[in-house]
Every structure is written in C-alpha cells, then in structure tokens.
Amino acid sequence: MSQSRNVKFKLKGIFMSITLILFITYTVIAGIAMLFSDRIIFPYTGSSYGMSLSGLVVQPAEDGTPVASRYWEAPSPSHLVVLFHGNYEDLGQLDHIAMQIMSVGYSVLSMDYRGYGLSGGRPSEKRCYSDARLMIRRAQSLGFDESRIILWGRSVGSGPATQLALEINARALVLESPFVTAFRTITRIPLLPFDKFNNLAKMDKVRCPLFILHGTNDMIIPSWHSSKLFDRHRHEKILHLVDGAGHNDLWTKDRRPALLKLTGLMERYDASPSRLPDTR
C-alpha cells in the first residue's frame, strides 16, 4: 500500500508540474500577444516612394494623423476596387496589382497603414478600421457609391476589407491569401480570447458576393484559412485555389484566370433576379 501511495503521489506531482509549466507558457504567450501583437502584425517600416508618386494624396484621419492613399484611374471604370495591401508592402509597390485590376475596367484606390509609406502614427486594428472608413469617404468623393465599390484585402488587408463589408453595401468582397484570425496564423487553433482581425466570426454576416484567391502552397497563411472563410459565408461565392502558388507569387502564376472568374461573378450577380435587398 505504501508503494502504491508513493506512485500516486509522484504522478500527482508530475501532473501538477506539467500543469504549472503549461500555465506559465500560456501566460507568457498571452503577455507577448497583448504587448507586441501590433508590431508582429504590422512589421513594416520605411517607404518605397516619395511625394512625387503619381495619384498620391495625403489626408488627415479623424485624429489628425496623415494617411497616404493612391488612386489609379481606369478609362470609364465600371467599379472601384478599394485595395488593402499586405503587411510588407506600401503604395509604391502596388503598380503590378493595380494594372492587372485596371485591365478588366476597374479603377483602384489603396491606402498605407499607419507607419507605412508616408502615413504617420502607429498601426493597430482599431486605427486600421478607422482609416479604412476614410477610404470609403474618398471613394465616394471620386464619384463611386457603395454599390460600385469592390473591397479587396490581401493577407492582413483581409481584416479591414472584411470589416468594411459589414458596414457598407459593397459590390463584392475579394480576399487574397486571407486568414481566419491574425493569431491563428501562428497558433492554428483558437488559443487566446483577444485575437485580432477575427474575419471568421464576421463572415456569416457578410451579405455581398465573396471571391477568395489563395495558393495551395502558401506556407505563411495556409489555404485552410480560406476554406473555413468560404464555408462560413452564406451567399454567392467563389473559392479560387491556385495550384502550387505560395503567399507572394499568386500574381505571377495566375493573373488573368482569377480576374476573369471575378468579373464573371460580378456579371452573374448583376443578372440575378434574387439579389438581396439593402437591409442596412
């Protein structure tokens, strides 16, 4: 009996030690996420361009912080793509994407997150949403109402694009290499209660058509993120997976086919007699 009690005591001690280690590990991870998540999500510093960049406008945000945006105007555009770029890009590096989008008759408007390019301040999820709304107001000043705006988010840009899709009656939501949440690009499973850019929780409330573009060989944000977002969306949608493409080469492997699928979705939606009424 004494030996059995000793074994149980040792097992209990091992269990408590493991539990303590797990608790400390979780606490450290939670602390790092809380203190440094914005720096991890938005690591970019510096600028690839100057004030002479064509189409550049720098305007004050609600709190007075300068926010840089850029407009590429297509001839007689049918729609405007409001583009939210990835976290290692800025306005000076988007010509290759903008030109492809313009080739199907859409103009493009994009902004730099705070701390990127010539935008001032420091980025955060809340400020990102606020500045994204500023882009909608600029889009309207350019003559585009909500029904002609296509929200397009690449990687971290999927966060503000998805948020805006809840707030305006956009023509469509395009997500390129998106994530379900920011933290789950690292943890895979829901681990922390204060995750950032929770696209998955919002997706079943998005009413406009959804087009998702993702590479099957994406090692930074694996394509299962897109599959989950696609499954959660309840309305017209297309999931376009590019075989063998990674996170940064979608536009070199599959430009025209993806854009043709997107324009096809727009045309079908326009012709559909069952378009959802404006209930917002």
The phi and psi torsions of 35 (rounded to 5 degrees) equal -85, -35
Measured distance CA(224)–CA(241) in Å, rounded: 11
Residue 273 burial (C-beta neighbours within 10 Å; 0-12, 13-18, 19+): exposed
Active site residues: 155, 218, 247
CB-based contact 90:112 (threshold 8 Å):
yes
Measured distance CA(190)–CA(14) in Å, rounded: 27
Measured distance CA(219)–CA(127) in Å, rounded: 28
